[in-house]
Chains A and B, each alone.
Chain A
């Protein structure tokens, strides 16, 4: 018997009978349709955990909600905190139009895996019969897609997406939301944070999404006695990043031990940036 040859996939004519590609496109189309009524989608990212990104996201959401309609999607599936910070609670109502988000303080629409998990339980996926291994990355990407397409966000002026640490997540989000309006980067003053956030911003630059600016959190600590501000960390990561990427340093926020937000004037430049009014 001589050598066997095969036609390749692209040599087989006719329609793709598996229709898998059609279904994947339909999934992405549903994201686009759902977000048509959302004026701006802005991603909030950092290079590392512990910089207070979710706190900053919740402060921005509350400040913006004073004048516009705001939603927050907590895309940090494994370490969700936004629902708790904004006082969002379940259960979530499933209607014909989709899953209704939780309406939290100040009328902010919120969706987070924190609303789906038992208290203190980690994110886990069910393995199917005969396959104890779970395709976690694929499932998490699918979950993010459904959070965008199947939550009935309604008509919003601003949807903030609180991303997990790292820059790859921006690329994943951009593939689902090509109309992504911009990225806001959160850092703390330390050199270590600066290097980590810079690496993530370079990764995010591959998505062609504009970097709206940098927010430096925990810039210092305000003494309750004399109101003087002392540094918590050595370094000036916020300004260094703003200079390197030619974007504005939108805010330098002092450490707030109670987690309450800064005054609206401290966030005004950042609010203007995320609303496209800078």
Chain B
């Protein structure tokens, strides 16, 4: 079976689709919220990772800790415009730094000087990110 796609509809569930290379039949693996959370707790993504793991990403995503526990070290990087800063502000504080780093690195690799909401949409589509 060949892994095809995964989706997180935003309701805590998860779906992964597989394709049989012989007969072309597609099958879906559906996980309920508890099962989805278990997968997330292991720090793995079905089908493989789209983005290299960020330092301490599991803890920063799941631990209910101080918003200022971590500071990012990223000098000389693309800047953010006001609209994208506002959008980034809606990301939970504890993981905001990590999310910001992902967008910054994607933009820097493409020589993008200013991160706009449109750039964020393009990055999300390219990296297959959900909820960020």
Q: Is B109 an interface residue (CB 8 A)?
A: no
Task: State which of B65-73, B82-90, B119-127 sits at the interface with chain A.
Answer: B65-73
Quick check: A135 and B37 within 8 Å, CB to CB? yes
Q: Is A117 an interface residue (CB 8 A)?
A: yes
Q: Is A116 an interface residue (CB 8 A)?
A: yes
Quick check: A23 and B43 within 8 Å, CB to CB? yes
Partner of A99, one of B10, B49, B70, B92: B70
Task: State which of A14-22, A43-51, A251-259 sits at the interface with chain B.
Answer: A14-22
CA distance A24 to B46 in the complex (A): 11
Known contacts A12-B1, A131-B33, A146-B59: does B66 contact A118 (CB below 8 Å)? Answer: yes
CA distance A18 to B97 in the complex (A): 28
- The distance from the CB of A152 to the nearest CB of chain B, in whole angstroms, is 8
Chain B residues near A118: list those with CB within 8 A: 65-66
Quick check: B68 and A14 within 8 Å, CB to CB? no
Quick check: B12 and A129 within 8 Å, CB to CB? yes
Known contacts A94-B71, A99-B56: does B34 contact A142 (CB below 8 Å)? Answer: no
- The distance from the CB of A154 to the nearest CB of chain B, in whole angstroms, is 14
Encode B93-107 as 1/0 by CB contact (under 8 A) with A.
000011001000000
- The distance from the CB of A133 to the nearest CB of chain B, in whole angstroms, is 6
- The distance from the CB of A83 to the nearest CB of chain B, in whole angstroms, is 12
Quick check: A23 and B48 within 8 Å, CB to CB? yes
Q: Is A125 an interface residue (CB 8 A)?
A: yes
Chain A residue with the shortest CB-CB distance to B6 = A18
Quick check: B47 and A95 within 8 Å, CB to CB? no
Quick check: A128 and B59 within 8 Å, CB to CB? no
Quick check: B16 and A18 within 8 Å, CB to CB? yes
CA distance A113 to B73 in the complex (A): 21
Chain B interface, number of residues (Cβ within 8 angstroms) = 48
Q: Is A130 an interface residue (CB 8 A)?
A: yes
Chain A residues near B11: list those with CB within 8 A: 129-130
- The distance from the CB of A172 to the nearest CB of chain B, in whole angstroms, is 14
Q: Is A98 an interface residue (CB 8 A)?
A: yes
Name which of A98, A121, A135 has the most chain B CB atoms within 10 A of its CB: A135
**Which residues in window 1-44 of A have CB below 8 A to B?**
12, 14, 17-20, 22-24, 27, 30
Known contacts A98-B55, A116-B63: does B69 contact A23 (CB below 8 Å)? Answer: no
CA distance A135 to B63 in the complex (A): 12
Known contacts A91-B71, A94-B71: does B42 contact A116 (CB below 8 Å)? Answer: no
Partner of B12, one of A14, A17, A99, A130: A130
Chain A residues near B1: list those with CB within 8 A: 12, 14, 17
Quick check: B12 and A116 within 8 Å, CB to CB? no
CA distance A55 to B20 in the complex (A): 58
Quick check: A92 and B69 within 8 Å, CB to CB? yes
The 6 closest A-B pairs by CB, nearest first: A130-B12, A131-B33, A130-B33, A129-B12, A116-B65, A138-B41
19 inter-chain pairs at a CB distance below 8 angstroms, sorted by A residue, are: A17-B18, A20-B44, A23-B44, A23-B45, A27-B53, A91-B69, A92-B70, A94-B98, A96-B73, A116-B66, A125-B63, A127-B37, A128-B33, A131-B12, A131-B32, A133-B34, A138-B42, A139-B41, A146-B59
Residues of B within 8 A of A (CB): 1-3, 10-13, 16, 18, 32-34, 36-49, 53, 55-59, 61-66, 68-73, 92, 97-98, 101
